[in-house]
Structure 1
Amino acid sequence: MEHRKLAFIGAGNMSRSLISGLIKSGYPADAIMATNPSPGKLEQLAADFGIHTSQDNTQAVAWAQALVLAVKPQMMAGMLTDLQQHNAGLDGKLLISIAAGISVSRLEQLTGQQRIIRTMPNTPSLLGLGMTGLYARAHIEQADRDYCQQMMQAVGKTLWVNDEEGINQVIAAAGSAPAYFFLFMEAMAAQAQQSGFSEQEARLLVEQTALGAAHMVAANPDVSLSELRAQVTSKGGTTAEAIRHFQEQGLEQLVAHAMAAAATRARELETQL
């Protein structure tokens, strides 16, 4: 991977996970900087990874060749406007956004730049098991695309989308999706407790089963999800009866509606930020 001078504007959990993944993959610490208004997170990052830190965004912009825009979406406009007012020198920099709800056209408006890649990582990136969607306009050079993809691959897997609407679909299918699984697991664990298991026992049953199921999917890339389900669903058995109830209650339609709602909300946020 190319080792450009890389600055993270914002030092939250996602920045930390990306920095950790990059360092583990061999990215030099002295080629990374992070900024944050308060010193606490910066001190921890410097202690853990040996990177440069600053409370001054303009200093980071002047130093870096590539910038990860990692502040909260509602703070993005103010931060970028401030950089513009201070003539921070964004010209020629690769800008990589990890903020939900802010379109490339809006980022172009706020920065006066067009060298922008929009990404959507999810929270399992904190464990190196993330799924990140990426989008770039046609004029973005392949070297920039490769650099951004390799950066995100330091914390998981990646998928390019052909148009920006695809990022909203990534949000629905991956960005928001860990919470879907947590909700399902929560419901299963609650029922297990109702059946007499302790809270710890119920969590163990559900947690290990979810982990095992995910590993089975990953270990069998050539087997469809429907076939994997069929392999554990004996005709007339207990699993078949549970599946029948799920389908009779409209599980597939419910999931489809929920994912569509997530994508719709992502579009709404783009008009508000």
Structure 2
Amino acid sequence: MRISILGAGNMGRAIFNHLYQRREFELALIDPKIDKIWKSLGKSGKVKPPLLFRDLLHYTQNLNQQNTILVLAVKPNQLLPLHKEIKVSKNLSFANFVIVSVVAGISLSTLRKIFKTKNIIRAMPNTPVTIGQGMTGLYFPKNISPQNKDSVLKIFELLGKTLIVNSEKKLHSITALSGSGPAYFFNFYEALLSTSKELGLSKKEILLLVKQTAIGATAMFCEAKEPINILRENVTSKGGTTEIALETLDKYEFAKGVLQAVLNAKERSINLGSELNSEIQENTQK
């Protein structure tokens, strides 16, 4: 199976890095700065290097048009230049491609106008795909064949867990929860790490304590049959230290803050998507 990744930014590289060691894929990487990027990746010569290209035209001129999964991993503001590149080239056809867009907020209708094909799937992965522990939301329109659906699922299941949604609009919720989610956890860990001075702990000591507590709590959450409120209650003794700590979080409306943060992220996703889609569709009609 050939998998081509257009755009070697953070997410493009994350997907590429995890697929690179697998022999069943023929990988291609497409980016204007491809030479610099490949050098910076510093890959071992023991593994067959991917096919490297600076742009789509260079890519299509040098490869036969076999069935290909093209992962679109460019930034949203790169879509207009990409559309111009496609428009001026008569040789660029995506008839034999299944395009998987990981570009946040850009709708199927906009992508179809750019690429002139309906074989487009939307995916919303998060950064833990780098270590094979990602969470990816996927929306497959009805025209996607079962074979192509299975091929795309196979890729993202190698990168972690997947969730198929029945509405494209749900991708805004996935963006707000799991797409941005790692940053929420990192922010909480940062808050715990910042208590080292007040607790009389060294940076090394508190780093170990926070890391292993996060690992242990997450493992219990993932493996336990009990609901999470029972796990919390099992740690919380009446009149004890955990109880006073949780009461303090409640005093500062911790849960309400989390809810509002996620809702604001969803709203921002909708608004950014609307602005970008309008701008791109307006320009694709010119």
Fold-level similarity (TM above 0.5):
yes
Deviation at 1:61, TM superposition (A): 4.3
Q: How many pairs are equivalent?
A: 267
Matched, 1:128 2:132: yes
Which among 72, 92, 102 is matched to residue 98 of structure 1? Answer: 102
8 Å Cα contact 2:124/2:175 also seen in 1: yes
Deviations 1:24-49 (A, max 9, x none): 44423xx1100111111134558445
Q: What is aligned with 2:117?
A: 113
**More deviation in 177-186 or 236-245?**
236-245
8 Å Cα contact 2:14/2:127 also seen in 1: no
In structure 2, distance between residues paired with 1:183 and 1:171: 17
Which among 5, 30, 35 is matched to residue 30 of structure 2? Answer: 35
In structure 2, distance between residues paired with 1:83 and 1:42: 24
Deviation at 1:130, TM superposition (A): 0.7
8 Å Cα contact 1:35/1:42 also seen in 2: no
Q: Compute the RMSD of aligned alpha carbons.
A: 1.9
Which among 173, 176, 188 is matched to residue 172 of structure 1? Answer: 176
Q: What is aligned with 2:260?
A: 257
Which among 19, 25, 36 is matched to residue 16 of structure 2? Answer: 19
In structure 2, distance between residues paired with 1:61 and 1:46: 26
Q: 2:194 aligns to what SS in structure 1? A: helix
In structure 2, distance between residues paired with 1:247 and 1:101: 34
In structure 2, distance between residues paired with 1:16 and 1:249: 39
Matched, 1:217 2:221: yes
Identity of aligned residues (%): 33
**More deviation in 42-51 or 241-250?**
42-51
Kindly provide the amino acid, as one letter, of the partner of residue 200 in structure 2.
G
Q: 1:118 aligns to what SS in structure 2? A: strand
Deviations 1:1-57 (A, max 9, x none): xx2x221111223223322322444423xx110011111113455844521111131
Deviation at 1:76, TM superposition (A): 2.0
Q: How does 1:147-158 map to 2 (within 5 A)?
A: 147-158=151-162
TM norm structure 2: 0.87
**More deviation in 8-17 or 98-107?**
8-17
8 Å Cα contact 2:30/2:56 also seen in 1: yes
Kindly provide the amino acid, as one letter, of the partner of residue 57 in structure 1.
L
In structure 2, distance between residues paired with 1:44 and 1:258: 35
Q: What is aligned with 2:281?
A: none
Deviation at 1:160, TM superposition (A): 0.9
TM norm structure 1: 0.91
In structure 2, distance between residues paired with 1:10 and 1:197: 43
8 Å Cα contact 1:34/1:52 also seen in 2: yes
Distance 1:144 1:45, change over 3 A: farther
8 Å Cα contact 1:122/1:174 also seen in 2: yes
In structure 2, distance between residues paired with 1:159 and 1:254: 26
Deviation at 1:247, TM superposition (A): 2.0
Distance 1:200 1:256, change over 3 A: same
Q: 2:195 aligns to what SS in structure 1? A: helix
Q: Which runs of 5+ in 1 are unaligned?
A: none
**More deviation in 140-149 or 94-103?**
140-149
Q: Which runs of 5+ in 2 are unaligned?
A: 277-286
Q: What is aligned with 1:53?
A: 52
In structure 1, distance between residues paired with 2:23 and 2:237: 48
Q: 2:5 aligns to what SS in structure 1? A: strand
Which among 73, 76, 89 is matched to residue 73 of structure 1? Answer: 76
In structure 1, distance between residues paired with 2:78 and 2:98: 20
